[in-house]
Amino acid sequence: MLEVGTKAPDFTLSDQNGNTVSLSDFAGKRVVLYFYPRDNTPGCTRQACAFAQNFEGFRNKDVVVIGVSKDSVASHLKFAQKYDLPFILLSDPELKAIQAYGVWQEKKLYGKVSMGVVRSTYIIDPEGNIEKVMPKVKPDTNAADILAYLEQ
């Protein structure tokens, strides 16, 4: 995981509509960059829906919300349409951003060890530096926790 104060690594990935999106596109804005394991799984769906329910709060603060997983553009489009997600979902099948942000880690599930995305969130300040690191976040409270932090 990256440290607070570090320059956020730039990346260019495709969103759910096939558009090319770079982190640098949002220079001058605060960005919530959240990494999640997989579209349409229970935890990831709850997390995405919580961001959608809180989206007005982020928009009112001029904060950009971006979700990243290794799912395909087509999978992201179906996920976004199914749950009416109003924010950017980026496809990272080659793990470029996922590895740059240190969220591709060893995971244990039922005693089995595998590599995967650890659900984590970064808040990036308008200058492009990491303002807050939130490792191993809970899907149900992640969006509300970020909004509470932004209120401080």
Q: What angle do CA 116, 53, 59 make, to 5 degrees?
A: 95
Query: What does the mean pLDDT of the chain come to?
Result: 97
How much of the chain exceeds pLDDT 70, in percent?
Answer: 100
**Would you say 23 and 124 are in contact if contact means Cβ atoms under 8 Å apart?**
yes
DSSP secondary structure letter of residue 129: B
- Catalytic residue list contains 49: no
The catalytically annotated residue of 8, 13, 32, 44 is 44
pLDDT tens for residues 22-81?
999 999 999 999 999 999 999 999 999 999 999 999 999 999 999 999 999 999 999 999
Domains in the chain, CATH or no CATH each: 12-151 (3.40.30.10)
| Res 108 pLDDT > 90 | no
Q: The whole model's pTM is what?
A: 0.96
DSSP 7: B
Among the listed residues 85, 57, 58, the one whose alpha carbon sits nearest the alpha carbon of residue 71: 85
